[in-house]
Amino acid sequence: MKTMKQAVYAISDSSGETSAGFSRSMMAQFPEIEIKQRRFGFVQTTAELNHILQQAVVEDAILFYTLSHRELDEIVKDFTHRNNLLAFDILNPYLDRIGQRFQQHPSHEIGAARKLNAQYFDRIAAIDFAAENDDGKNPRSMLHADVVLLGISRTSKTPLSFFLANQHIKVTNLPLVPQAQLPPELWQVDPKKIVGLTNDEEVLQKIRQERMLAYGLQATTAYSDTAKIQAELDYADQLYQKLNCLVINVANKSIEEVASIITSELKLPI
């Protein structure tokens, strides 16, 4: 089948992050269409907007836009209607409905979601916390964390820590090695804050073999040995049972899926 090509415009009077992300999510549902995405951020004048719209006609582009300025929003609606362009306003229809629900008018403040507020600084603090306490660097930090991640090597501890940190959640993680002594602080942490990560033996072996090859080493080593991996998994499972903590198998799950399970099960605000 011949691949279809389509121009997609993300237009905004702010950074354009929302319209660009939304358009990517929508168009990803059509893998046979080759997307040429263009992002137009901080559009402030009618002249600038009209120039973009004229280009859209030439490329027969699909438009996804977030325009807080009502005049600009109406220009896009009128233009796309007259020129039969497919366009999606992904801001104002929702603001209007929410406003009707609460009998209030939206502020239409440009970039309101990106204002420096307490949540912003909480997120930065959480990211710093994750960086400072990654890979068991500071066991005492477990006593101040919102979430403590445990897991043997290659169970996504670090990427998961930083993903959760971006949701303002303070995370520390501890690698589990059967021969290593566990820090006493672990037993002082509320089990409801602890998450034990595990994986399937076959998946772990493949990941570890690929890791060795990436380092220019042989794929088959003690690190990727089946018996060693199973022993590590058994050790982790026994520890999780003693702690009575939440256990998640990360095999075939994305970081986003695992993070969603954690925030839901631990009832964390996001």
In degrees to the nearest 10, what's the CA dihedral of 134, 135, 141, 145? 70
% of the chain exceeding 70 in pLDDT: 94
pLDDT of residue 38: 93
* Known binding-site positions for ADP: 151-158
| pLDDT of 112 above 70 | no
pLDDT of residue 53: 97
* Known binding-site positions: 151-158
**How far is Cα 64 from Cα 89, in angstroms, rounded to an integer?**
6
**Mean pLDDT computed over 91-116:** 75
**How far is Cα 182 from Cα 186, in angstroms, rounded to an integer?**
7
pLDDT of residue 2: 62
The two three-digit tokens of residue 191, written as one number: 């089990």
| pLDDT of 72 above 90 | yes
pLDDT of residue 270: 64
**pTM score over 0.85:** no
pLDDT band for position 104 (cuts 50, 70, 90) = confident
The domain segmentation of the chain, as residue ranges, is: 4-114, 118-265
| pLDDT of 117 above 60 | no
Domain 4-114 of CATH type 3.30.2420: no
The two three-digit tokens of residue 130, written as one number: 């994750």
**How far is Cα 220 from Cα 14, in angstroms, rounded to an integer?**
51
Same topology between domain 4-114 and domain 118-265: yes
% of the chain exceeding 90 in pLDDT: 69
| pLDDT of 120 above 80 | no
| pLDDT of 52 above 90 | yes
Write the burial class of residue 153 (CB in 10 Å: 0-12 exposed, 13-18 middle, 19+ buried).
Answer: middle
pLDDT band for position 114 (cuts 50, 70, 90) = low
Of 33-37, 100-104, 194-198, the least confident: 100-104
Report the 3 state secondary structure along the chain: CCCEEEEEEEEECCCCHHHHHHHHHHHCCCCCEEEEEEEECCCCCHHHHHHHHHHHHHHCCEEEEECCCHHHHHHHHHHHHHCCCCEEECCHHHHHHHHHHHCCCCCCCCCHHHCCCHHHHHHHHHHHHHHHCHHHCCHHHHHHCCEEEEECCCCCHHHHHHHHHCCCCCEEEEECCCCCCCCHHHHHCCHHHEEEEECCHHHHHHHHHHHHHHCCCCCCCHHHCHHHHHHHHHHHHHHHHHHCCEEEECCCCCHHHHHHHHHHHCCCCC
Mean pLDDT over the full length of the chain: 91
pLDDT band for position 3 (cuts 50, 70, 90) = confident
pLDDT of residue 241: 98
| pLDDT of 21 above 80 | yes
211-250 tens-digit pLDDT: 888 878 887 887 888 999 999 999 999 999 999 999 999 9
> 118-265 in CATH: which number?
3.40.50
| pLDDT of 70 above 90 | no
